[in-house]
Amino acid sequence: MNFDIAIGTCIEIGDTSATVRLDNAMLRRLCPTLKVGVPPKARLRVPLAICSARRPPRDGQELFLDYEQTLQAADAWLDSGGDGEFVAIDARVLASDIDPSTQPEPSRKPGRSFYY
């Protein structure tokens, strides 16, 4: 089963990579001990090869990574402070510990009915 992983807002698309402003949840996956500011300033540069073919990168839109490609890829570059200093990281962390076969069960909020 193949699916896409949303990681944040695409802010730049180059010839070989795309840069995304990371969501806090994705930043915590990459750097669990990092103190996250609000709004987050961290950026991640990923190769276009691991971006979703079904939902290709678009400037200003959510960036999606292909799950299978991300598991096989290893290189991405993280700028945790938003200051332009990128360091190499392992992109496979973004797809680790995700079980593509599980889907959340629909839930009903207390006191609300499905019928209005």
- pLDDT tens, position by position, 41-51: 889 999 999 99
φ, ψ dihedrals at 8, nearest 5°: 155, -170
- Going from N- to C-terminal start, the domains of the chain cover 4-94
Can you read off the two tokens belonging to residue 72? 């096989």
Q: Is pLDDT above 80 for 87? A: yes
Buried b (16+ CB within 10 A) or exposed e, 75-112: ebbbbbeeeeeeeebebebbbeeeeeeeeeeeeeeeee
The more confident residue out of 110 and 83 is 83
Name the pLDDT band for 13 (thresholds 50, 70, 90).
Answer: very high
Higher pLDDT, 10 or 107: 10
Indicate the pTM of the whole model: 0.77
Comparing 51 with 102, the larger pLDDT belongs to: 51
Give CA–CA dist 15/116, Å, rounded. Answer: 50
The pLDDT of residue 75:
87
